[in-house]
Structure 1
Amino acid sequence: MSVMQNQFLINFWGVRGSIPCPGPHTVRYGGNTPCIQMQVGGKHLIFDGGTGLRVLGQTLLSQMPLEAYLFFTHSHWDHIQGFPFFTPAFIKGNRFNIYGAIAPNGATIEQRLHDQMLHPNFPVPLQIMGAQLKFFDFKPGDFIELEEHNIKLETALLNHPGEAVGYRINWRGCSAAYVTDTEHYPDRLDENVIYLARNANVLIYDATYTDEEYHSPRTSKVGWGHSTWQEAIKIAQAANVEKLVIFHHDPLHDDDYLDLVGEQAAKVFPNTIMAREGMSIQLPVPVPQPENLEDIKMSV
């Protein structure tokens, strides 16, 4: 058994929200929009297809032929704009299982990915992709089980314009919650977010704003569909989360600003880190113990 088959590794390829923001002031945290890869038991699970997906795709070219699972939170541009530039999807022999919740207007994830590649928005259609693409629709609240890998995902509706869905990934007693894009409620904690985050090893949470920005009398962000790092900490504390990852950084927040946010957040919830492109988090997966002599022989 390879080392990767016993690992739960989270890799960050895009951590910005709304729009890519490359430049000298975003070098340390990165300017690509959301894309997270989880290597769970040797399998590739990819969450969202922002511009970070293009970068991930280049690294996967050395692993052909490839099978992976793509899970979309929703289809706002910053979460799908990297998909047409995902090189492995154009290569025959690769297989991608693509999951997305049905939109409020009834559109499937296949329809939405197809539509962004139609003229006059893009030069080639989705059908030009040479890999095998299989699409799976679900409703927020459904369970998704990758049975042959013993990986179980829970889903829940998030508070975001046009709807979004959050995920919880469970494997061998470890769990990671991916909760973006979502806006907190003014008078209570979101029960769906608490459910996904409960006792998780890692919570990746949309904290685009600070409380001051969110409630600004001049440029209020109420109703924009995103949360704050202060609210992220409330969720992490209430849900008994081990590690909190601040995610979906505002494109106006440069590296120095994010340093300050990280320092302030860690003072309140010490096990808080800021998401950065290229960052990896390894979860402490228990190594399965052989039950008898035959199992010992097989593991040698």
Structure 2
Amino acid sequence: MPGPDTAEIGGNTSCVEVRCGTARIIFDGGTGLRLLGNSWLRDMPLTAHLFFSHVHWDHIQGFPFFAPAFVPGNTIHMYGAANVTGTVETALAGQMETPNFPVHLTTLPASLQFHDLREGETVTIDDDVRVTSAAGNHPGGVFAYRVDYKGRSVVYATDTEHYSIPDPKLVALARDADVLVFDTMYTPEEYSGERGGIPKTGWGHSHFEAGVALVKAAGIKKYVLFHHDPSQTDAMVREKERRARELFADSLAAYEGLVIDML
């Protein structure tokens, strides 16, 4: 949520860029995608690879405002799971149909290439970048992704939760990763219902104790707390970060414009 209480952390919904050499990779098309696309306009024409964890509204709503999609000569590859609710293509088309939006997906000037992924499938980009998926736990389904490039690795795992033990699929996906970007929407008390009165179990979101459990089970080097609850102010996110660091020192709360250099 934008406003004075979130001026430090930021108010955009999920969108993370990963640069591997010349490869441009994006995870999720939330509202942050608008500003990211604007920052790329000086580099046209280009090729980008956009991986969707899932197609809930907060993860796709930035795409209609993604400027590179409106530029002829650009190529945008889009990836995600196909399930009973449809594909990435049907979800993006649906939000851009009348009366929702004045420009339809099929009229965008850029070349849009859609790829339906199977769980565990690896996509190779520019010969030396590998992106691998694993299924998480979220209503309607969700994919987590791992990027491997020149001996470094980052895992993006949002909108998921563990239940009784660290999710074995995520442990396997994230084994020995350099950076984990993990859903840390709640504090443990918010998740259990001890604070706020409503248990969040089964909602498909997690907390920092679960994130640290995954970090330790998989041998991850850096933990980035991600997908903050919109009701949390900057101060509340910083307190969440402080408590996470008590359990794992190299923990960091994601914020607007955060850059991590892994080379």
Please give the TM-score of this superposition, normalised by the length of structure 2.
0.97
Which SS does the other structure have where 2:169 is aligned? helix
Deviation at 1:254, TM superposition (A): 0.5
Q: Distance in 1 between matches of 2:96 and 2:22?
A: 31
1:209 aligns with 2:186: yes
* Cα pair 1:90 1:128 within 8 Å, conserved: no
Which SS does the other structure have where 1:257 is aligned? helix
Which SS does the other structure have where 1:149 is aligned? coil
Which SS does the other structure have where 1:134 is aligned? strand
Deviation at 1:149, TM superposition (A): 3.2
Deviation at 1:219, TM superposition (A): 1.4
Hey, what does 1:293 align to over in structure 2? none
Unaligned regions of 5+ residues in structure 1, if any? 1-20, 285-300
Q: Distance in 1 between matches of 2:211 and 2:14?
A: 18
Q: Distance in 1 between matches of 2:173 and 2:232?
A: 27
Please give the TM-score of this superposition, normalised by the length of structure 1.
0.85
2:45 maps to amino acid: P
1:184 aligns with 2:200: no
2:56 maps to amino acid: H
Deviation at 1:128, TM superposition (A): 2.2
1:116 aligns with 2:95: yes
Is the deviation greater in 120-129 or in 41-50? 120-129
Max Rg structure? 1
Q: After the TM superposition, which segments of 4 or more aligned residues of structure 1 sit over 3 Å from their partners?
A: none
Which SS does the other structure have where 2:6 is aligned? coil
Asked which structure has the greater RCO (Cα within 8 Å, sep 6+), the reply is 1
* Cα pair 1:206 1:227 within 8 Å, conserved: yes
User: Which of 120, 123, 127 is the matching residue for 1:149?
Assistant: 127
Q: Distance in 1 between matches of 2:243 and 2:112?
A: 43
1:42 aligns with 2:19: no
* Cα pair 1:41 1:149 within 8 Å, conserved: no
Q: Distance in 2 between matches of 1:98 and 1:277?
A: 23
Which SS does the other structure have where 2:7 is aligned? coil
Unaligned regions of 5+ residues in structure 2, if any? none
1:180 maps to amino acid: T
2:99 maps to amino acid: P
Deviation at 1:30, TM superposition (A): 0.4
Alignment of 1:124-163 (within 5 A): 124-146=103-125, 148-163=126-141
- Identity across aligned pairs (percent)? 44
* Cα pair 1:49 1:79 within 8 Å, conserved: yes
Which SS does the other structure have where 1:282 is aligned? coil
2:98 maps to amino acid: H
Which SS does the other structure have where 2:160 is aligned? coil
1:231 maps to amino acid: A
- What RMSD over aligned residues (CA atoms) do the two structures have, in Å? 1.0
Deviation at 1:104, TM superposition (A): 3.0
2:174 maps to amino acid: A
Q: Distance in 2 between matches of 1:26 and 1:46?
A: 23
2:84 maps to amino acid: P
Hey, what does 2:72 align to over in structure 1? 92
